[in-house]
Amino acid sequence: MKSPIYITGLGVISSIGDNVDQTLDNLRKSRTGVDEIKILHTQLKGTLPLAEIKYTNQELAQISGLETWQTRTAQLSMIAAQEAKDSCKIDYSEWRCGFISANTVGGMDRTEDFFKEFIVDNSKGDLHDVVNHDSGDATEIVADKLGMTDYVTTISTACSSSANAIMFGARLIHNDIVDIVIAGGTDSLSRFTLNGFKSLMILDDKPCMPFDENRKGLNLGEGAGYVVLVSERVMKAEGLTPLAMLSGYANANDAYHQTASSPEGNGNYQAMKGALDMTGLEPSAINYINVHGTGTPNNDVSEGMAIMRLFGEKPPVFSSTKAYTGHTLAASGGIEAVLSILAIQHGLIFPNLRFTTQMKEHTFSPQVSLIEGSKVDHVLSNSFGFGGNCSSLIFSKA
Amino acid sequence: MKPLYINGLSCISPQPTFGAEFPFEAKRYDSNRLSCIEPDYAPYIDPKASRRMGRLLKYGTTVGLQALRDAGVGSPDAISTGTGFGLLDDSGKFLKNVTEAEEGVVSPTAFIQSTHNTVSSNIALTVGCKGHNNTFVNKGFSFESALLDAQMLAEENAAMKNILVGAYDETTDYSYTIMKRLRLIREQEIANLDLLQTPGSGTIAGEGAAFFLLSTEKVDTYAILHGSEILYKPTSTDKVKFKLEAFLSRNKLVLSDIDIVISGLCGDAKRDEMLGNLNDNYFTAQTILGYKHLCGEYMTSSAFALWLGSMIAKTGSIPAETIIRDSHRLTSNILIYNVYKNDHAFVLLSK
C-alpha cells in the first residue's frame, strides 16, 4: 500500500442542507428531504415525491456566483466544491491541483427547456439553454472558478459515478500527477431523468423505504458532494488536520444485465471485497456501512446478499441515507462520502428512516435510530449503478 | 509510468478503416456532416438485440469486440472508455418521446441506452468482464483520461495485463442542427478533403469509434503507447512548449526525436491558430499530418488519430491524404497533439 490519501475538506448540498453544518443538523434530527414536488416544472407534480433542493436556478445562482442561465448541475457543483475548497486552509497556488467531477445528466435541465420549442421548429429555442449540455461542461466551469485545472476530467458511470471520481482522484495523487484533488459529483433533477426512472417503474410514489420488506422503489433527489483529497506531503507541509483517510477502494462490474443487479450481487461483492482487501482489514473491523440502498426491490436484495456473503449473517451496523436525500444518482457517491466522513468525525451512525419490516431474504435489518458517541473508525460506502458498475470506498479515522 | 503495448485495435469511422487495407484510400464527402461507414454487425451482435440498439451502441460495441479479437484476447482485465456526448441519439429520442407524450407513458429503451456508460458496460456484459469499468465524459479529455486510467491500472496492479480502452461519439440530426446554429460548422458545404487547405469559419461534423487492447506484454504489437498528457486552456504557445518538453523528457525523448506530429487541425482558422503556429515555428523538422478532414470534428477524435498513428507505426506507410507537410522522416516516434476548444492533449507512441 502506498502512502495514504487524506481527506481534509468537505462540501455538500442536497435536499437536507445547503452545506455541511445544515446537513449534519438534519441528519441528527432525522429530517428527510423527501417531499412533494415544488421546484421542478413537471406534469408529475402531485403524483410522486422528490428530494429537491428548494431553490430556483436564479436563487442558486445567488449562492454559487455563476450566471443564472448556467445549468442547475453546474450551480450545485459550484456551491459544494467551493465549500470543500474553502474548508481547508491550504495555499492551493503552491500545488498541482485537480478537479474530478461526475454527473449523469449534464445540462439536461436546460436542454429540455430548449427542446420544447426546438422539436416544433428547429430554428427555434434559445441556444443559451443548450450550449452547456455535455457532461464535461459543468466540470470545466467549476474547475475554472476554483482555479484547479492541472487535471480536469468527468466520470459518468451512472449511479457509481462520483465514487469513481473520488477513486480516480486518489489514484492521480498516488501516481504523482497532482498533489491535491477535489473529487465528487453533481446531478440536478430533470424531467428527462424523472420520466426515465418512471418508465423503468422503479419509483416509489411515497417516501422510499430502503431495505424494507415492503419497499416499492426509489425517490429521486439532487445535489452535489465533494471531498478534498491530499497527499501526505501536502498534509504535512500545510500543517493540516485530516478529517479521515481514504483507505480502500475498488471498481468492479457485475456483467449481468444493463439495468438490473445479479440476484446474488456478484459485482457488489467484488467491489466491497476489493476495497476491504486494499485496507488489509478484517471484515469485522468495519463499524458502519453506508449502503447504496436505493429502495428498489432489486438493488436491496442483491446488495444485502453480497453483504451477507462478505460479512456473514451478522454484518456491521448499516443504513441507507437515501431515505434522507433521495437517490441523487451521480452525486450520491460524493454526498455519501461526505456523510461517511461525518460519521467518523462525530462518532455518529445515521438511521435508516421509515424502516419497519425486515426483508425475508436477509438475516439482518438496518439501524433505525441515531447512534451518538459511537466508535466509528472504518466506514464502507457503496455505490452501484446501471451497466453493472459497482464501486466501494472505505474511509478510516486518520 | 510504464509504456503499454497496443496489441489489438479497431476503428469505425467515415473512412474505410474497419477491416480494410492500410493505407486506405480516403473517401471524399461533399457534405459538412461525415457519418460512419457501418459494417455488417451480425458477426458481433445478436441480430435480435441489434434491432433495439442505437447506431452508436452498435458501432461502439463492435469496435470494442473487434479490438479484443484482433489481439486474441477473450476478455480483458479492465475496460476504460471516453465519450464526449455519449449516446446522443437515444438521449434525443427519449427527450422527444417524453416531450410529445407530455410526460405520459413512454418506453424505457432509449432512456436505458442513453446512459453514458452503456457501450463500456455492454462490452463487459458481452465478454463477461467483471473487472474495473470506467467511462470518462470530459470533452476533449475524455479519451485521454481513459488512456491514463489504463496506464495507472497497469502501474498499480501487476495482475492488470490486458486493458481495453476506447472512445466513441456520434452526430445526430438534432446535434448537427444545433452545431450549425451555433456556427461551429461551415456555412457553405465544403469537400472534406479540401478542409485543411482552406481555413475558414467553422469546421465539419464527424463521428466514430476506436478501441485499443493495451497490454503489459508485447505480442504482435502495433505500437508502443508511452503515455498521454492533458493541458487545460493553455494561454500561450510557450506554455504548450514547456509542458510538451517536460512530457517528452519524462519519456526520455527530446523534440528532435519526434518524427511525425498528428495535428488536430479542424479547418476553423480561429481554433487552429495555436496549432498552426506551432506547426510552422516549432515542429519545423517533423512531418505534419492532419486527420479531422477524414473523420470530421468530434470530442473524441483523438482516438481516430491514435488508430492512424498505430497503423503508421506498424506498417511504415502514411496515407497520402493525411500529409500536410512531409519532412521525409522515419515513422518511429509519433506525437498526437489534439485540440478541442479549451482542451489540449498529447499522446505519444512509437514503433
Contact indicator for A377, A287 with CB cutoff of 8 Å: yes
Instruction: Tell me the Ramachandran region of residue A265: left when phi exceeds 0, alpha when psi lies from -120 to 50, beta otherwise.
Output: left
- Quickly count: other Cβ atoms within 10 Å of residue B251's Cβ: 16
Task: Please report residues of B whose CB lies closer than 8 A to that of A106.
Answer: 137
Q: Of B99, B105, B139, which is closest to A134 when you measure between CB atoms?
A: B139
Report phi then psi at A144, rounded to 5. -60, -50
Question: With contacts defined as CB-CB under 8 Å, which chain A residues touch B85?
Answer: 133-134
Residue A309 confidence (pLDDT): 97
Taking the model in full, what pTM does it have? 0.98
Q: Check residue A94 and give its pLDDT.
A: 96
Of A4, A62, A46, A22, the residue nearest A324 (C-alpha): A22
Which of B94, B109, B136, B164 is the mutation pick for testing A, counting most A CBs within 10 A? Answer: B136
For chain B, give percent helix, strand, coil, nearest 5. 40, 20, 40
Cα distance between residue B346 and residue B110, in whole Å: 35
A153 contacts on B by Cβ (under 8 Å): 136, 138, 141-142, 145, 230
Q: How far is CA B283 from CA A348, B288, B347, in A?
A: 59, 8, 15
Cβ contact, residue pair A387, B115, below 8 Å? yes
Is residue A159 annotated as part of the catalytic site, yes or no?
Answer: yes
A175 at the B interface (CB within 8 A)? yes
Q: Which residue has the cell 449473517?
A: A313
Nearest CA in chain B to A130: B178
Contact B138 A43 (CB under 8 A): no
Q: Name the average pLDDT for chain B.
A: 97
Chain B hits for A270, CB-CB cut-off 8 Å, are: 130
| CB pair distance less than 8 Å for A112 and B99 | yes
Indicate which residue of A97, A208, A327, A362 is catalytic. A327
Q: What's the rounded Cα separation, in Å, for the pair B225 and B289?
A: 18
pLDDT digits (tens, 9 = 90+) for B234-246: 999 999 999 999 9
Does A171 touch chain B if contact means CB atoms closer than 8 Å? yes
Amino acid at B98: V
The CATH architecture annotation of domain B226-350 reads 3-Layer(aba) Sandwich (3.40)
Task: Give Cα A73 distance to the centre of its chain.
Answer: 14
* Region B4-215: CATH code: 3.40.47.10
d(CA A253, CA A260): 12
- Residues in chain A closer than 8 A to B124 (CB atoms): 253, 255, 387-388
Please report residues of A whose CB lies closer than 8 A to that of B133.
157, 251-253, 387-389
Residue indicated by cell numbers 456532416: B33
A to B CB pairs, distance under 8 Å: 180
Measure Cα distances from A94 to A6, A178, A238, A244 in Å: 18, 12, 10, 23
Kindly determine whether residue B135 and residue A44, on different chains, have CB atoms separated by under 8 Å.
no
Distance from CA of A312 to the nearest CA of B (A): 23
List the single best residue of A101, A195, A264 to mutate versus B (max B Cβ within 10 A). Answer: A195
- A107 is written with which cell numbers? 445540462
**A199/chain B closest Cα distance in angstroms:** 5
d(CA B319, CA B278): 23
B19-46 pLDDT tens trace? 889 999 999 999 999 999 999 999 999 9
**How does DSSP classify residue A320?**
-
The alpha-carbon gap from A14 to the nearest alpha carbon of chain B, in Å, equals 23
- For CATH 3.40.47.10, the residue range(s) in chain B are 4-215, 226-350
Averages of pLDDT over each 10 residues, chain A, 398 residues: 87 98 98 98 97 97 95 98 97 97 96 95 94 96 98 97 98 97 98 97 98 98 98 96 98 92 94 97 97 96 97 96 98 98 98 98 97 97 95 98
Q: Which of B120, B131, B232 is facing A387, going by the closest CB pair?
A: B120
* CA neighbor of A222 nearest in space, from A377, A396, A381, A75: A75
Of A153, A172, A253, the CB nearest to B124: A253
Interface contact B108-A199, CB threshold 8 A: yes
Of A109, A148, A154, which to mutate for an interface test with B (greatest number of B Cβ within 10 Å)?
A: A154
> What is the rounded distance in angstroms from the CA atom of residue A202 to the CA atom of residue A220?
10
The predicted pLDDT at position A260 comes to 87
Q: Do A253 and B129 touch (CB under 8 A)?
A: yes
Strands (E), B161-286: 162-169, 208-215, 223-232, 260-263
List the beta bridge partners of residue B261.
B288, B335
Who among B124, B152, B177 is closest to A255 (CB)? B124
Number of H helices, E strands in chain B: 11, 11
Q: Of A108, A155, A177, which has the smallest distance from its Cβ to B134's Cβ? A: A155
Q: Which of A127, A136, A143 sits opposite B181 (nearest CB)?
A: A127
Chain B positions in Cβ-Cβ contact with residue A42 (cut-off 8 Å): 103
What's the whole-number mean pLDDT along residues B138-157? Answer: 98
Burial class (CB in 10 A: 0-12, 13-18, 19+), B48: exposed
Q: Which of A292, A362, A378, A390 is catalytic?
A: A292
**Catalytic annotation on A327?**
yes
Q: Residue B259, exposed/middle/buried by CB under 10 A (0-12, 13-18, 19+)?
A: buried
* pLDDT tens digits for range B258-275: 999 999 999 999 999 999
- Spatial contact of A198 and A346, defined as CB atoms under 8 Å apart: no
Provide, as residue numbers in chain B, all residues whose Cβ is less than 8 Å from the Cβ of A116. Answer: 99
Nearest residue to A302 via CA among A287, A290, A292:
A292
**Nearest-Cα residue of chain B relative to residue A175:** B152
Is there a contact between B70 and B53 (Cβ–Cβ < 8 Å)? no
Q: Are A333 and A383 in contact (CB under 8 A)?
A: yes
List the 183-212 stretch of A: residues with Cβ below 8 A of B: 191-192, 195-196, 199-200
Beta strands B223-232; B343-350: pairing state: antiparallel
Instruction: Give B80-116 pLDDT, tens digit per residue.
Output: 999 999 999 999 999 999 999 999 999 999 999 999 9
DSSP state of B257: G
Domains and CATH numbers, chain A: 5-238 (3.40.47.10), 247-396 (3.40.47.10)
Going from the C-alpha of B143 to that of each of A183, B135, B280, the distances in angstroms are 19, 9, 27
Q: Does residue A395 contact residue A246 with C-beta atoms inside 8 Å? A: yes
- The amino acid present at B146, given as its one-letter code, is A
Answer whether B149 sits within 8 Å of A389, measured CB to CB.
no
- Residue B300 is given by DSSP the state T
Which H or E run includes A379? strand A378-384
Return all residues near B318 (Cβ < 8 A) that are at least 6 apart.
Answer: B23, B260, B287, B289, B312, B331
- At A258 the pLDDT is 85
Read off the C-alpha cell for A370: 441515531
